[in-house]
Amino acid sequence: MNTSNKKRRYITGFDGIRTIAVIGVILYHLVPYDIQGGFLGVPIFFVLSGYLITDILNEEIQKNGKVNLFSFYKKRMKRLYPGLVTMIVATSAYITLFQRSLLNGIRNVIVGNLFYVYNWVQVRQGQSYFDRFGVQSPFTHLWSLSIEGQFYLFWPIILTVLWVVLRKKQPIFDTIFIVAFFSALTMALLYKDGQDSSRIYFGTDTRMFSILLGTSLAVIWPSKGLKNNLQKKSRIILDCIGIVSLILIILMFFSMSGESDLTYHGGMFFFSLISVFLIATVAHPGADLNKLLTNRVFTWLGKRSYGIYLYQYPVMIFYESHVNIAAHPWIHVVIEILLIVMISHLSYRYIELPLQHFDYSRTKEVIGEFFKKKSRYGWQRLWIAGAVVMVALTMTGAVFQPKTQSNQGDQQLENVIKKNQKEVTEDNKKLQDKGKQGTSSSSSSSQKGTSSSAQSSSKSIQLTQSQQQQAANMKITAIGDSVLADGSLKLKSIFQQMYIDAKVGRQPRDAIGILNDLAQKGQLSNTVLLSLGTNGPFNDGELHQIMGAIGNRRVYWINTHVPTRRWQKQVNDSLNAATKTYSNLRIIDWYDYSNNHTNWFYDDNVHPNEYGLNYYGNFIAKEILEDK
């Protein structure tokens, strides 16, 4: 059947798919532990892009025998560059003015994104996509646009070669699908449980399978080659496939974690296949799912999904750096979503659409008109002036970016943690060395380093002479994150036989392997202290594994004081509820004790400063020693 003369139809349901995908991504970034699989919105975009671009290219190849590369690249750049460049410039200008601590490496960000290689810049710099507590870049999410940009650059050439060499649909489909499978296999082989998965998450080689699955669909399921009318039975079957795919996608948004080994051992590949089935159903004019995903809201959001994706991270990073979101997290979620949508609409209305259809051959004429005294552009010249100012600020920040930018408090905290970890590591080795557990020299050095703190701590909670002696001889295993690392020497000055394993950025699930390893080696004490939850909450399964590794030992879990993150209440509520399930679990309510004492903390209002450690150490000791 010759389809070359058919007018290309706009598949309105694809805007609905885009809306579902971008909603998943935004909710993942705003409430990552409620919508833990929302990051899967990106594979949906990948599959959809692969399908649409290949469908267009196949049509051109069948009609003309080749692809007009210049025309293709020109259309892609006019569609994508205006929004991307505007976002980068506006965000960089804001950083230059208001958050100069984020200027470090800004040149790499700009160059990497303009040339669509930013995902590899992130891999080289060792950026983590899943570290949600530390200083985050407002450009982190742009990795996916670089992968798509690389696809747009090479795919027209590759597809043309495939048609020339293989000629028929089936072998072309088979070849693409096999390459997609090997991409997913590469992801599975490179993934190592317990290691940061960002290299695999950002890599073109390990993520290309989603796009390739979309391209393979376009080869055997061209939008112009599908029948408008289907028999009732076929239509019902196709609708059922689409509806089941949609339901599975939504369920996986809630259930598939971005740091689960299942995700990288075939889970993401399976999700991409489901997305293929959904897109195939929506693309078919004889099915009903296109109508289901077509409505004014989905169409409006779908058309702006590119801008929504672009501006989500800058809005979140900048907003949350100035607002305490933990007290009313859902109110702030709504505010951030409204800001993202509003900015994205302005970008779509005044930047993306006009520049997508602008005739760039008239650039000189437009510039000349702009500078006339009685220019027809009128007040619009203010937009141009603002753009020039933003570009100037961006260039200033990029050229004169500081080598390091951290305030005095941050630098002091960083130095404290590094010093503590060095001393604690040495002491841990001595504690594990038989015959030296009671006479470790680093214990005395810890006491020397915190003697002034111990003296001032008597103003808050005092330990009796008997309690001090009891604590000095008590064997405890402590596992935690940066808050424990911050307070480790203070705790060591009280509990001289304490083994401490604390690491910046540690998630609760990371403790599972550590606890199991210590238990298997017979090095897990009968009393275990946990300080986890600063960097994110845990689910029931992770809690069960943590408590299972500890067994019947006594467990003290310090709850969280992290008002800058929306999961504070979730963590503390989960811990309180867990005491009803695990009889050996006791909660040390550091949150309630330290709340409203901002002078106890560094500027982040999370890590106790030198003064706050006086309260931190003795409070924890008192809670442990007085528990019967």
Residues 333 and 452 grouped into a single domain: no
Say whether 475 sits in a helix, a strand or coil: strand
> Residue 294 is which amino acid?
T
**CA dist 328 → 26, 310, 565 (Å):** 18, 26, 10
In a domain, 7, yes or no: no
Domain boundary residue, one of 399, 427, 447: 399
Residues 380 and 429 grouped into a single domain: no
In a domain, 9, yes or no: no
What's 327's DSSP letter? S
Span 307-312, average pLDDT:
96
The number of domains in the chain is: 2
Residues 496 and 361 grouped into a single domain: no
19 φ, ψ (degrees, to nearest 5): -65, -45
Residues 220 and 302 grouped into a single domain: yes
Confidence of residue 375 (pLDDT cuts 50, 70, 90): low
477 φ, ψ (degrees, to nearest 5): -105, 120
What's 8's DSSP letter? P
Q: What is the side-by-side order of every strand in the sheet holding 527-531?
A: 497-502, 475-480, 527-531, 554-558, 585-588
> Residue 253 is which amino acid?
F
pLDDT at 283: 96
In a domain, 6, yes or no: no
Closest CA to 556 of 623, 481, 464: 623
Cα 587 from Cα 375, distance rounded (Å): 69
Give the count of beta carbons closer than 10 Å to the beta carbon of residue 137.
20
CA angle 246, 247, 249 (to 5 degrees): 65
Domain boundary residue, one of 399, 434, 462: 399
pLDDT at 379: 60
CB 625 within 8 A of CB 530: no
Q: Position of tokens 């990029």?
A: 398
Residues 204 and 331 grouped into a single domain: yes
CA angle 406, 410, 411 (to 5 degrees): 75
In a domain, 500, yes or no: yes
Helix (H) / strand (E) element for 511: namely helix 510-520
pLDDT in tens, 325-341: 877 888 999 999 999 99
Residues 429 and 332 grouped into a single domain: no
Chain centroid offset of residue 126 CA: 14
Give the pair of three-digit tokens for residue 331.
């109110």
Cα 442 from Cα 419, distance rounded (Å): 12
Residues 392 and 427 grouped into a single domain: no
Residue 445 has pLDDT above 50, yes or no: no
Residue 403 has pLDDT above 60, yes or no: no
Residues 391 and 415 grouped into a single domain: no
Rama region for 252: left / alpha / beta (φ>0; ψ in -120 to 50; rest) = alpha
Chain centroid offset of residue 582 CA: 32
Give the pair of three-digit tokens for residue 402.
């500081």
Closest CA to 559 of 527, 586, 528: 586
Report percent pLDDT > 90 for the chain: 61
Q: Which of 69-83, 123-137, 306-320, 490-504 has the lowest mean pLDDT?
A: 123-137
Residues 332 and 206 grouped into a single domain: yes
Q: Please indicate whether residue 377 or residue 233 has the higher confidence score (pLDDT).
A: 233
Cα 347 from Cα 114, distance rounded (Å): 18
Cα 143 from Cα 103, distance rounded (Å): 18
pLDDT in tens, 486-519: 999 999 999 999 999 998 888 898 899 999 999 9
Cα 111 from Cα 118, distance rounded (Å): 8
pLDDT in tens, 102-117: 888 888 999 999 999 9
**CA dist 125 → 94, 198, 199, 505, 628 (Å):** 23, 11, 10, 17, 49
Cα 440 from Cα 357, distance rounded (Å): 73
pLDDT in tens, 234-262: 999 999 999 999 999 999 999 998 878 89
Describe the crossing of helices 204-220 and 169-190 by its angle, rounded to 10 degrees. 160
pLDDT at 399: 66
Residue 614 has pLDDT above 50, yes or no: yes
Our CA dihedral for 72, 78, 80, 86, rounded to 10 degrees, sits at: 160
In a domain, 355, yes or no: yes
Residues 369 and 495 grouped into a single domain: no
Residue 370 has pLDDT above 80, yes or no: no
pLDDT in tens, 162-199: 999 999 999 999 999 999 999 999 999 999 876 777 88
In a domain, 77, yes or no: yes
Closest CA to 267 of 256, 280, 279: 256
Domain of residue 579, residue span: 408-625
Residues 392 and 436 grouped into a single domain: no
Q: Position of tokens 């202290």?
A: 529
Residues 389 and 458 grouped into a single domain: no
CATH code for position 581? 3.40.50.1110
> Residue 214 is which amino acid?
G
Cα 248 from Cα 271, distance rounded (Å): 8
Give the pair of three-digit tokens for residue 301.
């959001």
Query: If you count them, how many residues does the chain have?
Result: 628
Taking the complete model, does pTM exceed 0.85, yes or no?
no
In a domain, 5, yes or no: no
Say whether 260 sits in a helix, a strand or coil: coil
In a domain, 8, yes or no: no
Domain boundary residue, one of 399, 421, 438: 399
CA angle 96, 98, 99 (to 5 degrees): 75
> Residue 109 is which amino acid?
V
**CA dist 496 → 175, 379, 447, 449, 525 (Å):** 63, 71, 9, 14, 14
Q: Which of 274-278, 354-358, 475-479 has the lowest mean pLDDT?
A: 354-358
pLDDT in tens, 23-72: 999 999 988 878 989 999 999 999 999 999 999 999 999 999 899 999 99
Say whether 191 sits in a helix, a strand or coil: coil
For 256-362, where are the alpha helices, taking DSSP H only? 261-262, 268-283, 289-292, 296-303, 305-320, 329-347, 353-356
